[in-house]
Chain A
């Protein structure tokens, strides 16, 4: 393809214009990241007086630590469950809006609201509702015969953080699905109806496959969200407990580094998280961006 390119004579100006952004990237990303990498190879004494270079010792210790392996597992469960629940809920709500003729806009606006709630506030909200002593939902669940207590039962705790995290993310997913559904021509659904496909069959054979680029994109975004943006929710609800069952990687970095003051281990965990982020970004660029557009 031929595209017209404008050539500016000034050779220095472009770099000057790039400079602020570059400075921000270097100061707030590259430098701290370098520091993290460096300290992930070091061990400090408790008083911060002596620092020894220990090569990969911090890393090997991590993988021998059952708490870290457990945290990996909890993160996997949490992020996949959050992605599935929030994508599923958002899809159901978007399908409902797609069928609405009037008031669809009001409904859309209302569904988008939770996105504006800060993670910590969302966490507190759900913590209150499910609080074993004062929570309304905990009360109702107990009435139904189940002894809900997320401070004691690890499954309850996991369900609580998954609910709180997905609730916030539903809004985002919902908007993408609404847009995705609107992009599917009505005549395709009509053609399928005439071709003898009932509503469920139309959904699974026509609508869902046509939404698959959106769904895949959201899957990656939601996993990233659950892994990295849910610190506030966990800190406000379970703080990683009970018995480390909801101590996901991001929370563990904070806990080991800032509470436990084990900076070397915390830095090594950060480095591993960085690798996960890079991997997910690669997946997103290679598969999502190149997804077939119908």
Chain B
């Protein structure tokens, strides 16, 4: 167990392609930090740099207080769970679990006890003598995690470990990873592009975009007070509605600027829109375009000034498609962003 510290970390590929730049991040001992962002934002590259699978061209990475820039992956004492599991196909599950311990010269009795313990925790004891190809996706995933935990490393690195599983299994494994991590208290870095996975797993979330960090914070902080337009649009489902201030009527504008002047764009969460009339609120005259019933709630897609806005409401509000509806948004719940995309107020 150890903390991980990144200082000004950057990665430039030959040909001056900057994959990651200026990343500063301190991950506490036992913390689970999720790196999230769209494809190509540099989150996987950053994880692979921590693992030692990619060279670090700028800055320093330290694990447990020791700079590891020049160390081989094996010397960093970390374990990684890969997206495709990367189980050794020619070895039995037991041999897969033992491989890392054997390479490090762990004595036989200890190898046996650690493998037995990991097998018990992950409930893979019945498959220990099978080959990976004889296992289902979920079982392979468990073995991949088992291979990480038997080593008792300083940190776990997860590279989109659930993206090859079906939706139901993914939800189940997510809970298991969280429980396991809480129990073992091993520092973990988890990469995903799935914001639901990110929100539910993370102690702290790191939102990345185009190679740099947009914002770091707890899932609720990021949801409640996104610091940039990018974070605001990335976190939350359905995504936040953005409205250009120039398109607002003068009444609405007064409400918006009462909070903080200089806003260029405002963001309204779909659940911040109601049909309850309120003279103090921002008022949008809309036409219902599409209703998506999603069980306990409904997503109402409406047209406002030739753009689509989505509202999230409980139950099944009895709108008809094409119906005119007035929606209200409390100025206290809206997010204001300046022209450079930074949050105001």
Contact surface of A with B, Cβ cutoff 8 Å: 185, 187-188, 190-198, 201, 205-206, 209-210, 294
Interface of A is mostly: helix
B52, B53, B103, B133: the one within 8 Å of A195 (CB) = B103
| Nearest Cβ on chain A to B326's Cβ, whole angstroms | 54
Contact with A along B73-93 (1 / 0, CB 8 A): 110001110111010111000
* Nearest neighbor of B100 in chain A, beta-carbon distance: A195
Q: How far is B147's CA from A198's CA once the two chains are assembled, in angstroms?
A: 18
Contact B103 A191 (CB under 8 A): no
| Nearest Cβ on chain A to B158's Cβ, whole angstroms | 13
Contact B72 A193 (CB under 8 A): yes
Given the contacts A192-B99, A196-B103, A210-B89, A187 and B74 also touching, CB distance less than 8 Å: no
Q: How far is B79's CA from A194's CA once the two chains are assembled, in angstroms?
A: 7
Q: Could you give 18 example pairs across A and B, Cβ below 8 Å?
A: A185-B86, A190-B73, A191-B80, A191-B82, A191-B86, A191-B88, A193-B52, A193-B72, A193-B73, A193-B74, A194-B52, A194-B74, A194-B80, A205-B99, A206-B88, A209-B90, A210-B90, A294-B90
Contact B74 A197 (CB under 8 A): yes
Q: How far is B136's CA from A73's CA once the two chains are assembled, in angstroms?
A: 51
Number of chain B residues close to chain A: CB under 8 A: 23
Q: How far is B88's CA from A232's CA once the two chains are assembled, in angstroms?
A: 44
Max chain B Cβ within 10 angstroms of own Cβ: one of A187, A188, A194, A205: A194
| Cβ-closest 4 pairs across A and B | A195-B100, A196-B103, A294-B89, A187-B86
Contact B82 A192 (CB under 8 A): no
Give the residues in chain A near B82, CB-CB below 8 Å: 187, 190-191
Q: B1 an interface residue at 8 Å Cβ cutoff?
A: no
Given the contacts A185-B84, A196-B104, A206-B88, A190 and B53 also touching, CB distance less than 8 Å: yes
Give the residues in chain A near B151, CB-CB below 8 Å: 195
| Nearest Cβ on chain A to B343's Cβ, whole angstroms | 39
* Nearest neighbor of A197 in chain B, beta-carbon distance: B103
Contact A190 B86 (CB under 8 A): yes
Contact B53 A193 (CB under 8 A): yes
Q: How far is B86's CA from A188's CA once the two chains are assembled, in angstroms?
A: 5
Give the residues in chain B near A205, CB-CB below 8 Å: 99
Q: B51 an interface residue at 8 Å Cβ cutoff?
A: yes
Q: How far is B88's CA from A209's CA once the two chains are assembled, in angstroms?
A: 10
Contact B86 A196 (CB under 8 A): no
A188, A194, A196, A201: the one within 8 Å of B88 (CB) = A188
* Nearest neighbor of B77 in chain A, beta-carbon distance: A196
Contact A198 B74 (CB under 8 A): yes
Give the residues in chain B near A201, CB-CB below 8 Å: 103
* Nearest neighbor of B79 in chain A, beta-carbon distance: A194
